[in-house]
């Protein structure tokens, strides 16, 4: 992927997404910048936000703000490529761009595991967002159900699907609350060979349903266990902005999947910085795989 963490420090990240350099906040970065301001001034766009404005919070707890373009020629959206997949990036009012580069190793892993099966597998992607994992799975030959409560995210996913030339692949798109959807799938007797989920720390469903990670994630995982086929290949979970370590994800996966043969692994989602080689942790992950 044409992505690079150029430098970090003083609560900021300097990143290159394909053709453009972005300067955006990250409050966990408490160390000093390594590069001078002359390098940081090369950013095509800088994100600013007001932390004291309670009205600026999204349903997921992200503080809204605005992008200030230093480069007037920079478009509001552009493209980035990972292997055979293409994604549209945008300057959103929540500082995000529509893709999380630290998850790219998982997309490769998902594709590899699906291809090794030598059969059509059925995959469920919960909180699917703009669909990088979904596209990795369907490009590898899987049948996939993509679920997200956000209509704009679903529209963005469709744009990525079209851009990647995967519109004819078997992708079922659902706008719904993930907890309610999985409960209905259990009643319908549907099963999946692999499940991917990226739940927020808190949020709201399309009909005002509330989501709190510590309360609802165990319920969701229990539903997902009941949706697994007789020959599952993986369960993958990523989490951001929760006050716990990846051991929490590992422990609950070991507990819920104790009756299945396989391995539970866990760790931090990380990006290696170019300037000084420091490692930036952005979130946590846990995975069961056969």
Q: Is residue 150 part of a domain?
A: yes
Q: Is residue 239 part of a domain?
A: yes
- Model confidence pLDDT, tens digit, residues 117-172: 999 999 999 999 999 999 999 999 999 999 999 999 999 999 999 999 999 999 99
- Residues 242, 162 share a domain: yes
- Residues 72, 160 share a domain: no
- Residues 114, 72 share a domain: no
- Residues 258, 187 share a domain: yes
- Residues 147, 7 share a domain: no
Q: How far apart are CA 103 and CA 111, in angstroms?
A: 13
Using a pLDDT cut of 70, give the percent of the chain over it: 95
Residue 54 above 70 pLDDT?
no
pLDDT of residue 282: 96
Q: Is residue 69 part of a domain?
A: yes
- Mean pLDDT over 42-56 rounds to 73
Number of domains the chain contains: 2
Q: Which domain holds residue 38?
A: 3-81
Residue 195 above 90 pLDDT?
yes
Q: How far apart are CA 164 and CA 86, in angstroms?
A: 5
Q: Is residue 279 part of a domain?
A: yes
- Residues 169, 48 share a domain: no
Q: Is residue 86 part of a domain?
A: no
- Residues 105, 66 share a domain: no
- Residues 161, 61 share a domain: no
16, 46, 81 — which closes off a domain? 81
Q: Is residue 55 part of a domain?
A: yes
pTM for the full predicted model: 0.92
Using a pLDDT cut of 90, give the percent of the chain over it: 87
Q: How far apart are CA 157 and CA 172, in angstroms?
A: 12
Residue 59 above 90 pLDDT?
no
Tokens of 108: 């490769």
Tell me if 203 sits within 8 A of 249, measured CB to CB.
no
Tokens of 206: 């399309």
- Residues 56, 150 share a domain: no
- Domain containing 52 — which CATH number? 2.60.40.1180
- Mean pLDDT over 170-191 rounds to 97
Strands (DSSP E) along the chain, which ranges? 3-9, 12-17, 20-25, 45-49, 65-69, 77-82, 85-90, 122-126, 143-148, 171-175, 194-197, 202-204, 210-212, 234-239, 263-272, 279-289
Q: What residues are paired with 172 via a beta bridge?
A: 145
Residue 184: pLDDT band (50, 70, 90) is very high
């Amino acid at each position: 992927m044409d992505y690079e963490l150029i430098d970090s420090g003083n609560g900021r990240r300097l990143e290159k997404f394909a053709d453009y350099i972005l300067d955006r906040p990250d409050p966990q970065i408490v160390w000093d910048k390594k590069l001078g301001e002359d390098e940081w001034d090369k950013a095509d766009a800088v994100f600013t936000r007001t932390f004291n404005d309670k009205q600026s919070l999204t349903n997921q707890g992200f503080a809204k703000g605005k992008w200030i373009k230093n480069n007037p020629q920079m478009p509001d959206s552009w493209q980035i490529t990972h292997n055979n997949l293409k994604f549209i990036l945008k300057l959103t009012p929540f500082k995000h761009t529509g893709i999380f580069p630290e998850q790219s190793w998982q997309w490769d892993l998902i594709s590899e595991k699906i291809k090794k099966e030598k059969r059509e597998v059925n995959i469920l992607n919960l909180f699917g967002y703009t669909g990088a994992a979904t596209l990795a799975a369907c490009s590898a030959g899987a049948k996939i159900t993509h679920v997200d409560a956000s209509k704009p995210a679903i529209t963005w996913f469709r744009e990525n699907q079209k851009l990647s030339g995967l519109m004819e692949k078997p992708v079922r798109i659902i706008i719904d609350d993930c907890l309610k959807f999985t409960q209905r799938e259990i009643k319908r007797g549907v099963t999946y060979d692999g499940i991917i989920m990226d739940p927020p720390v808190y949020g709201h469903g399309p009909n005002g349903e509330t989501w709190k990670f510590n309360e609802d994630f165990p319920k969701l995982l229990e539903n997902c266990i009941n949706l697994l086929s007789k020959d599952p290949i993986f369960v993958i979970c990523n989490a951001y902005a929760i006050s716990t370590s990846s051991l929490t994800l590992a422990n609950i996966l070991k507990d819920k999947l104790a009756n299945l043969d396989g391995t539970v692994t866990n760790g931090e989602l990380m990006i290696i910085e170019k300037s000084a080689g420091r490692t930036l942790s952005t979130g946590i992950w846990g995975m069961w795989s056969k």
